[in-house]
Amino acid sequence: MTGSAGLCGGIANANANILRAFVDLAQERQLGLSVLSYLEHGRDRPEILPTWATFHGFEGDKWRFSQHLLCNGWQSALIAFDHVTLALPILPYAALKLVPTLIFTHGSESWKRVRQSSRWSLQCATLCLANSNYTLKRMRAYLPPFRGAACPLGLSPHFTAAAPPDGPLTFEAADGTTALLGPHCLLIAARMDDREGQKGHRELIRILPALKRDVPDVQLVCAGPGDDRHALQQLARHHGVADAVFFPGYVPLATLQALYQHCYALVMPSRQEGFGLAYLEAMQYAKPCLGCFHQGAEDVIAHGETGLLVDDPADAPSLLGSLNTLLQDPTYAQWLGQNGYKRLQREFTARHYQARLKAHITGLLD
């Protein structure tokens, strides 16, 4: 795997559930378990691993990782990868069906601009588990035939609803002033990467002046790391809304939970979402969500029932109309949020995801 305890992000959070599923199955079947973490250190051993399981951190050393995998992988009952590029060293084993392989696929990197070697790894895998029906559909449209199934994600086992914050939430706005977050605070929790730029930050900032005319005290909090933050701050200043846009950057879990607790809605009209764990995190706090049609958000958000979906976030009137629908009808927004919480409890808890995982993995071990 790329990593879990020592990393942040959607794949690392998904890996927490994947590790728990493998630990349970290994104990039930009295099998050994060895975890190879490509990016982490040895000190990043996940707490979920029992003492009998081995853990190796390779700190990004591709040669050591590949050598260990080649020397030890051939005798495994199953090898699972959280990213297709990690499977390359054992491609000959997989092609010759010497070792069963399972590859988890998490989004556009699984179907857009995929290297030929990765295409071969996906084709030779015993099973490819996509994080959503959307991801699986896109893979089938763009890649040669492979054996795949959708296994929608669940909430991270580390993410549990916390108590409300003790005091008001205060952050520095893009204009340099410090302000309290008010009742009409919209949250987008996503990385800000200038190589991607399709999470919805720009579209939200561009329509904020029009939104403020209808809801004068509306605010936008952009939580998450990334090198695009400076450009987004400039965009907020350019549109005259720097006093209402906040960029706290990466925030610790407690602060993120406080933001979910306080926000009016999670608004992430992303066009690059394989699934969208942030939607589940908001649903844990009974917050309505806004996402996009024709993305992984469709697997999570039931349009008009747990949140709202837009066709194209670049369509400013459509995005503005959806946000106004939420902000100007708090009863409806609360109803959506409560429905989202109920749906989370029915389908998307950590326990649900682990059960789905174990069903697929068991089929490979039998």
Q: What is the pLDDT of residue 164?
A: 67
Tokens 């406080």 found at: 258
Domain that holds residue 359: 10-154+349-365
* pLDDT score of 9 more than 80: no
Within this chain, do residues 192 and 105 fall inside the same structural domain, yes or no? no
Within this chain, do residues 150 and 180 fall inside the same structural domain, yes or no? no
Note the pLDDT tens digit of each residue in 118-149: 999 999 999 999 999 999 999 999 999 999 99
Number of domains in the chain: 2
| Residues 126, 18: Cα–Cα separation, whole Å | 17
Tokens 């959708």 found at: 150
| Residues 33, 19: Cα–Cα separation, whole Å | 10
Asked if 269 and 292 touch (Cβ cutoff 8 Å), the reply is yes
Question: Is 160 a domain residue?
Answer: no
Assign 160 a pLDDT band (cuts: 50, 70, 90). Answer: confident
Within this chain, do residues 33 and 129 fall inside the same structural domain, yes or no? yes
In this prediction, residues 5-32 reach a mean pLDDT of: 89
| Residues 179, 195: Cα–Cα separation, whole Å | 30
Tokens 């890996």 found at: 15
Within this chain, do residues 128 and 233 fall inside the same structural domain, yes or no? no
Q: Label the pairing between strands 178-180 and 170-172.
A: antiparallel
Within this chain, do residues 98 and 229 fall inside the same structural domain, yes or no? no
The pair of structure tokens assigned to 197 is: 């730029």
| Residues 231, 223: Cα–Cα separation, whole Å | 15
- Residue 291 has phi, psi (to 5 degrees) of -140, -160
| Residues 205, 290: Cα–Cα separation, whole Å | 15
Q: CB pairs under 8 A, 24+ apart, for 282-285?
A: 282/187, 282/189, 282/340, 283/337, 283/340, 283/341, 283/343, 283/344, 283/348, 284/155, 284/159, 284/160, 284/161, 284/260, 284/341, 284/344, 285/161, 285/257, 285/260, 285/261, 285/337, 285/341
Note the pLDDT tens digit of each residue in 165-205: 677 899 999 999 999 999 999 999 999 988 877 899 999 99
Within this chain, do residues 271 and 333 fall inside the same structural domain, yes or no? yes
Domain of 76, CATH number, reads 3.40.50.2000
Asked if 168 and 180 touch (Cβ cutoff 8 Å), the reply is yes
Within this chain, do residues 56 and 86 fall inside the same structural domain, yes or no? yes
DSSP 293-350: TTSTHHHH--BTTTEEEES-TT-HHHHHHHHHHHHT-HHHHHHHHHHHHHHHHHH-SH
Within this chain, do residues 283 and 230 fall inside the same structural domain, yes or no? yes
| Residues 106, 130: Cα–Cα separation, whole Å | 6
Within this chain, do residues 126 and 266 fall inside the same structural domain, yes or no? no
Question: Is 296 a domain residue?
Answer: yes
Asked if 183 and 265 touch (Cβ cutoff 8 Å), the reply is no
Assign 20 a pLDDT band (cuts: 50, 70, 90). Answer: very high
Q: CA nearest 100: which of 359, 358, 354, 363?
A: 363
Percent of the chain, pLDDT > 90?
84
Q: What is the pLDDT of residue 67?
A: 93
Question: Is 2 a domain residue?
Answer: no
Within this chain, do residues 125 and 195 fall inside the same structural domain, yes or no? no
The letter for the amino acid at 49 is L
Within this chain, do residues 85 and 188 fall inside the same structural domain, yes or no? no
pTM: 0.93
Note the pLDDT tens digit of each residue in 245-259: 999 999 998 999 999
Question: Is 139 a domain residue?
Answer: yes
Dihedral of the alpha carbons of 140, 146, 149, 155, in degrees to the nearest 10: -80
Note the pLDDT tens digit of each residue in 80-105: 999 999 999 999 889 989 999 999 99
